[in-house]
Amino acid sequence: MATRTTSPGRSASTARGSKARGSRSGAGPRGGGRSTRQSRPQRRSLPVRMARGLWMGGAHLVGGTARSVGSGAKDLDPALRRDGLAFLLLGLAIVIALREWFGLSGIAGDVIHHVAAGVVGVLGVLMPLALVAMAVRLMRHPERAQANARVSIGLLAVTAAVCGLIHIGSGLPSPRTSFAAVESAGGLLGWLLGAPLTLLLSEWGAVPILVLLALFGLLVVTATPVAAVPQKLGSAGNWLLGRGPAETAEEPTAELVAADGTHRPPAPRRRKKQRATDGEAVVPGEYAADEAFTAAAELEPADEAATTAMPGKGRGRRRTAGTAATAPTADSAGADKAKDELTAPPTSPLPARAEQLELAPDVIYTLPSDEVLTKGAPHKVRSAANDRVVESLTTVLTEFSVDAKVTGFSRGPTVTRYELELGPGVKVERITALSKNIAYAVASADVRILSPIPGKSAIGVEIPNADRETVSLGDVLRSSVARRTEHPLVVGVGKDVEGGYVVANLAKMPHLLVAGATGAGKSSFVNSMITSIMMRSTPEEVRMVLVDPKRVELTIYEGIPHLITPIITNPKKAAEALEWVVREMDARYDDLSAFGFKHIDDFNAGVRAGKVKPLPGSERTISPYPYLLVIVDELADLMMVAPRDVEASIQRITQLARAAGIHLVLATQRPSVDVVTGLIKANVPSRLAFATSSLADSRVVLDQPGAEKLIGQGDALFLPMGSAKPMRVQGAWVTESEIHAVVDHVKAQLQPTYREDVIAPVAKKQVDEDIGDDLDLLLQAAELVVTTQFGSTSMLQRKLRVGFAKAGRLMDLLESREIVGPSEGSKARDVLVQPDDLPATLAMLRGEAPAGDPYDQDDDDGEPVYDVEAEPVAAVEDRYADGVEGHLPPAAATFDDGADDSDEDAWELTGR
């Protein structure tokens, strides 16, 4: 049985094809012969087939070699590829120079000449110079690789325009008539550009067009906008005439004023390298703490706070707020080679103050020169470590299937913040949940995730740099942001995570809490702050009270004219100094109220303008008030010795002293709740947290976590007043030799004039130990009992608004001092002191020797004033010569609440 293997359709088509072939075959002998030749091609001879096989084999060999070389070149280091291109350009320059300059003969020379002259004409003579220049640029400036495309386009435009002009000037030769004439003119490039323009616009229209094209190419090559052409020409003229570079107003650098939290403007344009000044001072490194800087380098200024965008990432092209343009992309190996070419942030010299401050008829105080503070290391924009971290972050996101990509990073001196942009529908929590995985991938335990970055729709991953930089205080004070204001209380803080300088105005903060573990950089910041004050302000503008319970941190500043009292090392005297600050604040507010001013700046302006004059009959000479800066280096020691007095003084100062020009800086290495109490935190709005030892300490300082993840050595979180989130900064570093140089400069001009009443004891001297902190209540109780001649414990509870136990203890203290008699059951105690003896009794309770009746004088309000004789005061100004009278808190008003005082004594219930 046979089976059909072909379909009917195919059989029909086959049959039709057979009939057609049959008809064609019967068409004649010509048709049949052609069909036979097509179906049976003739076989080539053996030599032809061997030659063809050799040719195809060689072609395949060359193609395979080229493909292998191309794939190997892709895997090659980008720096090596760039160097290879540079050497190729040098080789072409040498070959062309051999023919065009030295007349190389032979077939090779003719081919080289026809290629070079045929393309650009007579400009072929200059082609070797252009190739050498491009090769040198590739090898010497690898960090400018991103600008090579721009330079190439500009050079092509200039070359084409010049070739076109040469072609028109040579009579418009055509390659159809004489190719040699084209080679001796503008070449094929000039013919392709000049001939059509001349045909369409004539020579009068073509020449201006080509000139404009050449000018456009020059602007593209030099990256100069049209608006900047006059400035460039002026700079070139000054350079030709041998002058220095023209003084131009520097653009504001990328930084953030700590007090107001405003966004930073873009950084200035790159400027060419300038020669170092001849008078640069060299501070000898004779102190042990100077190892951070061994020499000051004169480097080229660079753009600040640049956010480097990742190549090929479209979403990463958006610039950050307050940052400069996107930095050029450099490959990992090229970045290592370019370390010597790294550029330093732009700085400007300290301007000479127009108005010199005359402190005495024969003394003119001058600020220290900016040459005293050395320059820091150049800022690094990118390194090979950054590229490796980007690859690790991308790998982690891919492995955990998170739709996010690294769009760029901002390298700071200590950490680099990598920016991640999420895809649609991806939660932020998916990134924050990967913090440990990211730390594992980048081999660093100190990874901090910022979600989101303030002002940007991106998540920040802050990772410490393997090659961290040191921020010099001199660079911070020389930055344009520090130069924008001459306020005497502006201090240098450091650099933020984007590389921008950060300064803070203590007058706007207005008080600052600095906390951190041992070795975190707290003392370095205090030194930078005091040095900034000495560099920018005179003793008449700012006076300081330094409290150093450690006895070694601030001794270097002993004897500077800015001090209003010697450095205080005794915690008890520090508490008395804070009480003096409170009295000074009250005295300043009295003047502000008397003359109708709201702030000390307005009062000082009125004094300088002659609008504030003393009252008639007064011998007082009114002079401007200086700012008073109180710096406590270790708050914990003060809180252990006199917690109540210190906390009360700090509370009053921080609540009221801003308008009086008094500002407080509290530093501690133990930020616990018993040191930084709730009252202190509530009145100190600005915080600077260095690395803390625990999460609890971070919450005490910042009211949020974060400080426990800092890496120390100046790494800090800065939370100025009014800012919602803290920003990460690297604190400025100042060496001991620099501090000594600044201190020697200010001490050589003026000797300090101290006020002895700052640490002079006032109302209480030798209080009995059993009284403790209840002296104020005991004085009020004694005055109440003696004036009313009624010794009842229940009366003390009502009048003084204290509890039963406190009232009973006060009555026991009065009994032990023989002010009241013993308890007689339900009856009131006998009062043993007459009202006439009350002043002596109160003096005895305060531990003072009774010296006359202190009620001889009354103040303006009719309240008694306890006149305490103070030691003679060495006045800095006439205002200080009047002395300050100490006012004790008045006793509680004795009021009658309508209760019957003859009721049962509460002490009867105790059986006493």
Q: Is 822 in contact with 828 (CB distance < 8 Å)?
A: no
Three-state secondary structure call for residue 399: helix
Integer angstrom CA distances of residue 15 from 6, 11, 12: 12, 6, 5
Exposure string over 98-133, b if 16+ CB within 10 A, otherwise e: ebbeeebeeeebeebbeebbbbbbbbbeebbebbbe
- With the C-alpha atoms ordered 770, 774, 776, 780, is the resulting torsion angle positive or negative? negative
Exposure string over 810-839, b if 16+ CB within 10 A, otherwise e: bbbbbbebebbeebeeeebbebbbeeeebb
Q: Is 304 in contact with 271 (CB distance < 8 Å)?
A: no
**Under 8 Å CB-to-CB from 54, ≥6 apart: which residues?**
none
- Tell me whether residue 519 is annotated as binding: yes
Task: For residue 360, give the H/E element and its range.
Answer: strand 357-360
- Tell me whether residue 6 is annotated as binding: no
Cis peptide before 452 (omega within 30 of 0): yes
Euclidean distance between CA atoms 787 and 894, whole angstroms: 9
Residue type, 476: V
Three-state secondary structure call for residue 489: coil
Unique residue bearing structure tokens 């933020």? 496
Task: For residue 257, give the H/E element and its range.
Answer: strand 256-257
Residue type, 360: A
- Tell me whether residue 521 is annotated as binding: yes
Count CA atoms within 13 Å of residue 489 on its CB side. 26
- Tell me whether residue 517 is annotated as binding: yes
Euclidean distance between CA atoms 901 and 794, whole angstroms: 8
Lookup: tokens for 493: 């803080």
Alpha helices for 400-445 (secondary structure H): 429-432, 435-441
Q: What single DSSP character describes residue 256?
A: E
Q: Is 112 in contact with 124 (CB distance < 8 Å)?
A: no
Unique residue bearing structure tokens 């800012």? 723
Residue 847, Cβ density class (10 Å: 0-12 exposed, 13-18 middle, ≥19 buried): middle
Unique residue bearing structure tokens 């084209």? 182
- Tell me whether residue 116 is annotated as binding: no
- Tell me whether residue 826 is annotated as binding: no
- Tell me whether residue 518 is annotated as binding: yes
Euclidean distance between CA atoms 353 and 743, whole angstroms: 19
Residue type, 868: V
Q: Looking only at Cα atoms, what is the longest distance across the chain?
A: 160
Query: Assign residue 862 a region: left if phi > 0, alpha if psi is -120 to 50, beta otherwise?
Result: left
Q: Is 428 in contact with 451 (CB distance < 8 Å)?
A: yes
Backbone torsions φ then ψ of 83, nearest 5 degrees? -65, -35
- Tell me whether residue 374 is annotated as binding: no
Euclidean distance between CA atoms 450 and 705, whole angstroms: 12
Lookup: tokens for 178: 């004489």
Residue ranges for the known binding site for ATP are 516-523
Residue ranges for the known binding site are 516-523
